[in-house]
Amino acid sequence: MIQFLLDNPFLSALVALVSLAVTFGAVLGYAAVQFKVEGDPIVEQLDALLPQTQCGQCGYPGCRPYAQAIADGDAINKCPPGGQATINTIADLLDVEAPTLDEEHGEESEVKKVAYIREDECIGCTKCIQACPVDAILGAAKQMHTVIASECTGCDLCVEPCPVDCIDMLPVESTVSDWKWHKPEPYYQRASNIIASDKTSGAAA
């Protein structure tokens, strides 16, 4: 057998290649079965990056459907609550250029908001409860309703259905507990910067 293969280099190469192909085919096939990933990992990852405001401004009924849509090739710049930061991270994940936010779907808001029900005006129609995508409103028919502020995503969806217009979107006030240091201005942007003034004058010239 060995002698035969040595005598026929062409055949021996063929045998070697075929046996290699069979071995690796078997290994890959086994791996495909054994290490199969459940679900669509890219959709999960995208969903994890989206802000979960569930506002539907992207044109899909929630963040997950939009994640699915992105995975299916939709544009990544349709989520105003996430803003540029989210677009950037998604672009990173998908390894594409980061576009700017599509203004058609709304503008990125500067401050976080939370719904507030003026409780003495609420007539208890439960319309807002039905609208809230994260069950952040508490109430019952003909009873006063109120927003669980810690669960509210600020999606705005409850404002419109309220027949007596008693829901306001209030900016979330920052407190000492969620305060954080600001990033210092970079040296080249400081007015008092002596050497950087060279640069500014250079730019002006």
Give the interface with ligand SF4 as residue ranges (CB under 6 A). 50-51, 53-58, 60, 62-63, 66, 79-82, 115, 117, 122-128, 131-132, 134, 136-137, 139, 145, 147, 152-158, 161-162, 164, 166-167
Residue 178 in contact with another protein, rule: CB under 8 A: yes
Q: What residues numbered 55-74 form the site for another protein, per CB under 8 A?
A: 62-64
Residue 4 in contact with another protein, rule: CB under 8 A: no
Angle between helices 41-49 and 83-94 (to 10 degrees): 160
If the CB atoms of residues 35 and 179 are measured against another protein, the closer one turns out to be 179
Backbone angles phi, psi at 170, to 5 degrees: -100, 140
Q: Which of 57, 99, 54 is nearest to 76 (CA)?
A: 99
- Tell the smallest beta-carbon distance from residue 2 to another protein (Å): 53
If the CB atoms of residues 58 and 63 are measured against another protein, the closer one turns out to be 63
Q: Which does 158 bind (CB under 5 to 8 A by kind): ligand SF4, another protein, none?
A: ligand SF4
3-state secondary structure the chain: CHHHHHHCHHHHHHHHHHHHHHHHHHHHHHHHHHCCCCCCHHHHHHHHHCCCCCCCCCCCCCHHHHHHHHHCCCCCCCCCCCHHHHHHHHHHHHCCCCCCCCHHHCCCCCCCEEEEECCCCCCCCCHHHHHCCCCCEECCCCCCCEECCCCCCCCCCCCCCCCCCCEEEEECCCCHHHCCCCCCCCHHHCCCCCCHHHHHHHHHC
- Tell the smallest beta-carbon distance from residue 132 to another protein (Å): 8
Binding track, positions 25-54, relative to another protein; x by CB under 8 A: ----------------------x--xxxxx
Q: Which does 196 bind (CB under 5 to 8 A by kind): another protein, ligand SF4, none?
A: another protein
Q: What residues numbered 116-155 form the site for another protein, per CB under 8 A?
A: 133-136, 151, 153
Residues in contact with another protein by CB under 8 A are 47, 50-54, 62-64, 133-136, 151, 153, 174-184, 186-188, 190, 192-196
